[in-house]
Structure 1
Amino acid sequence: MIQPISKNALLLALVALVCVAILGLVNQLAQPKIAEQQLASKLAILNEVLPQSSANAALLADCILVTNPPLLGRPTPQSVYRLRSGDSVSAFVVETTAPDGYSGNIDLIVAIQPDGTVLGSRVLNHQETPGLGDKIERRRSSWIESFSNKQITGENESAWAVKKDGGQFDQFTGATITPRAVVDAIYKVGLLVRQHPELASRPANCGANQ
């Protein structure tokens, strides 16, 4: 005869198995919706830095992973999307990191033409001081838009600095380190696309939904 304790153990095990099965089924059913939301979110961000409605599924698929710590700020691969016009690349959309923010890494996305002209940029993630460094966010100020239509040539490095350092970009009152880090990170994206034309011809390798 099975003891009451054994019966309870079997019952608990059965309940646990049923719960695991239900959670697995719910997760499986939710995956397509999650993927759809992630895709929409990614396209919304890309459309903020590109000409209207340029971002689509084809752009997400035409993506390469690039590892270049000196120019992209991380030792791990960063995504580079390629917007094409016919057979040529009209713009790159580069995920990059400013590793020298006041409170750590500042993750950015930058749309830039092959000649180094910035189309747009946005901050994706940061931990800068609220009320000071967080002015790099578009919802806090229009400062991040000051890079649009400015060109990075490799010979104009001195202009790609905050005004306190002799450059053309405003700093924030009481917070110079944060904008300085962002300016430098965007400048290095320009160097990346100008110094590495092979980015346009490398096979896509980001994988689905990158």
Structure 2
Amino acid sequence: MSTTTLDWKQKPHFMGLLLGGFALLVCVLVALGARLTDPLISLRTQEDTQKLLDQVIPAELYDTAPSKEPFNLTLDGQTLSGFRARKAGQVTALALFAETQGYGGTIRLLLGIDAHGVLTGVRVLSHTETPGLGDKIQTNKSDWILGFAGLSLGNPDEQGWHVKKDGGQFDGFTGATITPRAVVKGVHETLALFAKHSAELLDSKE
């Protein structure tokens, strides 16, 4: 091989072109990979979301997966997010995200509410409550959270929507009353918001 050929390949502009070509090839491969995997990731995300929604919305209430109809609404100055469940084209239930302040910080909730304002299920999505005490709001620790199913804003009455220590009907946790009190408050407030804005939330014209 001649010295001239070696010198040409060692010149800066040749090295720049070589690096540029390599970078372009990498970008093309990444873009192609993303195009091929994005639908699979989207499908898996939707499946995972639907499994979560199935915990609070009974399957008999919909014929189209609620995970396919997310929504965000601004009500009373706050953003409310969730999913609509439909059957024969009509909204039959909602899954609503809510937050309440517990002993250790924010408790994130997911509520299932049918079109009549009756709870179909409540689950805790995340919390930082004390292990062994406040974590009894989790279904793998106790069945306390399951007791909300079938209740509504008027069942029990206003006083009933408190823990027993405060004159209500909900059991507290030994040494951790603040946690169940916070969850009851969060669920009650979300039901009140639903009752106030049911027309917007159940809008089936979309």
Tell me, yes or no, whether TM beats 0.5: yes
In the alignment, what sits opposite 2:92? Answer: 90
**SS of match in other structure, 2:168:** coil
In the alignment, what sits opposite 1:16? Answer: 23
Please say if residues 86 and 93 of structure 2, whose CA atoms lie closer than 8 Å, have aligned partners that are also in contact. Answer: yes
Match of 1:64 among 67, 71, 80: 71
Per-residue Cα deviation, 1:163-189 (whole angstroms, up to 9, x for no partner) = 222211122223222222211111122
Please say if residues 43 and 55 of structure 1, whose CA atoms lie closer than 8 Å, have aligned partners that are also in contact. Answer: no
In the alignment, what sits opposite 2:48? Answer: 41
Matches of 1:69 and 1:132, distance apart in 2: 34
Assess, with a 3 A threshold, how the Cα gap between structure 1 residues 161 and 155 changes in structure 2: closer, same or farther: closer
In the alignment, what sits opposite 1:208? Answer: none
Letter in 2 for 1:181: A
**Cα RMSD, aligned residues only:** 2.8
**What's the TM-score, normalizing by structure 1?**
0.78
Please say if residues 133 and 175 of structure 2, whose CA atoms lie closer than 8 Å, have aligned partners that are also in contact. Answer: yes
Matches of 2:11 and 2:106, distance apart in 1: 54
- Could you list the runs of 5+ residues in structure 1 that have no partner in the other structure? 205-210
Assess, with a 3 A threshold, how the Cα gap between structure 1 residues 175 and 165 changes in structure 2: closer, same or farther: same
**What's the TM-score, normalizing by structure 2?**
0.79
Matches of 2:59 and 2:68, distance apart in 1: 18
- Could you list the runs of 5+ residues in structure 2 that have no partner in the other structure? 1-6
**SS of match in other structure, 1:159:** coil
Percent pairwise identity: 34
Instruction: Trace 1:149-164 onto structure 2 (pairs within 5 A).
Output: 149-153=150-154, 156-164=157-165
Number of equivalences: 198
Please say if residues 63 and 82 of structure 1, whose CA atoms lie closer than 8 Å, have aligned partners that are also in contact. Answer: no
Question: Is 2:81 aligned against 1:81?
Answer: no
Please say if residues 116 and 153 of structure 1, whose CA atoms lie closer than 8 Å, have aligned partners that are also in contact. Answer: no
Matches of 2:107 and 2:62, distance apart in 1: 23
Shift of 1:10: 4.3
Matches of 1:143 and 1:5, distance apart in 2: 73
Assess, with a 3 A threshold, how the Cα gap between structure 1 residues 58 and 95 changes in structure 2: closer, same or farther: same
Instruction: Trace 1:1-210 onto structure 2 (pairs within 5 A).
Output: 1-2=7-8, 4=10, 6=12, 7-52=14-59, 54=61, 57-68=64-75, 75-84=78-87, 86=88, 88-98=90-100, 100-153=101-154, 156-198=157-199, 199-201=201-203, 203-204=205-206
**SS of match in other structure, 2:55:** helix
Per-residue Cα deviation, 1:15-42 (whole angstroms, up to 9, x for no partner) = 3332232222222111111111111111
Matches of 2:154 and 2:174, distance apart in 1: 29
**SS of match in other structure, 2:59:** coil
Assess, with a 3 A threshold, how the Cα gap between structure 1 residues 5 and 162 changes in structure 2: closer, same or farther: farther
Larger radius of gyration between Structure 1 and Structure 2:
2
Assess, with a 3 A threshold, how the Cα gap between structure 1 residues 40 and 58 changes in structure 2: closer, same or farther: closer
Please say if residues 116 and 191 of structure 1, whose CA atoms lie closer than 8 Å, have aligned partners that are also in contact. Answer: no
Letter in 1 for 2:193: L
Of residues 158-167 and 27-36 in structure 1, the stretch that sits farther from structure 2 once superposed is 158-167
Matches of 1:171 and 1:2, distance apart in 2: 81
